[in-house]
Structure 1
Amino acid sequence: MSTMVIFAWLLVLFTAGTSPAVRGKYYSDSHIVDDPVTIKKTQLHFFMHDTLSGNNPSAVPVAQPKGTVVQQGNLLPFGAVYVFDDWLTMGPDPNSKVIGNARGIYASTSRGSDFTLLLSGDFEFTSGGFNGSSISVFSRDPLVLAKEVAVVGGRGKFRMAKGFILMNAVYFNVTNGDAILECHATVFH
């Protein structure tokens, strides 16, 4: 073998074990943060308008169950998936001041009579002191008039938020699924 080939093989062997990709880690070592963290508690009160009917709905089906018998008139059969872009307002009247929007997905996850959704959404505020900030929700959402859903994060002033939203249906149309939910959010951030 030529000296050049031997040198190339030696170079490959000696540098193969020193590659950062081989020795690197996907995490950093944990350490105690010296700075005390101040946790704020913010309470919000707003209304969410979820409209499935009409020419301009704010929630639309994007997937229907396959191989499942769907009863006529059942808006949320097991396996149905909806996306939503709902207004958040100051009051229950649809014409009250818009303060943000809630965007996300909900899916029907119950096969029984206890209608339940899985809710994943981002509630962004577009006015006031929290303009540009949002709270993220990921929770089981039972279809009852009063319920609680989990706040699991956020953006902007609500970065790393946790908490909950108590939702109460102030309007619900059982025929078309339209709803107005009063939301009392408690957010720790």
Structure 2
Amino acid sequence: MGHNFPISSSQIAIFFLLSFFAITLVSGESFEYARTLDRKLYGLKKEKLSHFRLFWHDIYSGKNPSAMKVVSSPMNSSTLFGAISMIDDPLTEGPELSSKLVGKAQGMYASAAQEEVGLLMIMNFAFTQGKYNGSTITILGRNKVFSDLREMPVIGGSGLFRYARGYVHASTHKLDLATGDAVVEYNIYVLHY
């Protein structure tokens, strides 16, 4: 019942050529692990530089502390080398805790220096007000606590701060050595889209 049609070698070549193009068009993907993307496709427009001036309240005392030591220094050290604290510190517009709350500094810091008080800071500044509500700025760096002015890098962010980079300047506004409570002024300079 079958019909036998003679197939020429040129027809076979055309069939394989068309099959190759069809497979190429269907797959359409490169098998490389990285590729360059057009940032406009992701809504990334012109990059801008923003400045934020905030006050960070690190509170160990009272009924509702915002900072808590989770690891004590394992040795008798004047710099508390090895101590680690977790934080959920208020960020306010002014130096008083009663001023407008604009976000929280969430993360941790560890005493990472043996010969001076130097902290490794790992924090997200999570904003809760205005157009930045829900966005974060990520800070990771060295904080030499008793220096007048400390600089730490901004390494990223989320929301309106995706692809963020920049730096912060931190300066102590108030420090209570008896309780460990501190108010630190943060000036953040961040490039973002």
- 1:176 CA drift (Å): 1.8
Q: TM-score normalised to the size of structure 1?
A: 0.77
1:119 aligned residue: 121
Structure 2 partner of 1:173: 176
Deviates more, 1:156-165 or 1:172-181: 172-181
How far did 1:63 drift?
0.9
Q: CA 1:81–1:32 in structure 2 vs 1: closer, same or farther (change >3 Å)?
A: same
1:182 deviates by: 1.1
In the TM superposition, 1:23-34 aligns within 5 A as: 28-31=33-36, 33=38
**Displacement of 1:55 after TM fit?**
2.2
Secondary structure of 2:160 counterpart: helix
Corresponding residue of 1:80: 83
Distance 1:131 1:79, change over 3 A: same
TM-score (norm 2): 0.76
Unaligned 5+ runs, structure 1: 1-24
1:65 aligns with 73
Distance, in Å, in 2 between the alignment partners of 1:55 and 1:31 is 52
- Which of 81, 92, 95 aligns to 2:95? It is 92
Give the structure 1 partner of residue 156 of structure 2.
Answer: 153
- Hey, what does 1:132 align to over in structure 2? 134
Measure how far apart 1:181 and its partner are. 1.0
Q: Which amino acid is the alignment partner of residue 29 of structure 1?
A: A
1:32 CA drift (Å): 6.3
> Would you say 1:44 and 2:44 are equivalent positions?
no
The answer for the alignment partner of 1:21 in structure 2 is: none
Which consecutive residues of structure 2, in runs of 5 or more, have no partner in the other structure?
1-30
SS in 2 for 1:29: coil
* CA separation of 1:78 and 1:96: change in aligned 2, threshold 3 A: same
Question: CA shift at 1:54, angstroms?
Answer: 2.1
Give me the identity figure in percent.
34
1:111-133 per-position Cα deviation (integer Å, ceiling 9, x unaligned) = 11x21000001001100121111
* 1:50 maps to amino acid: D
Aligned positions, number: 159
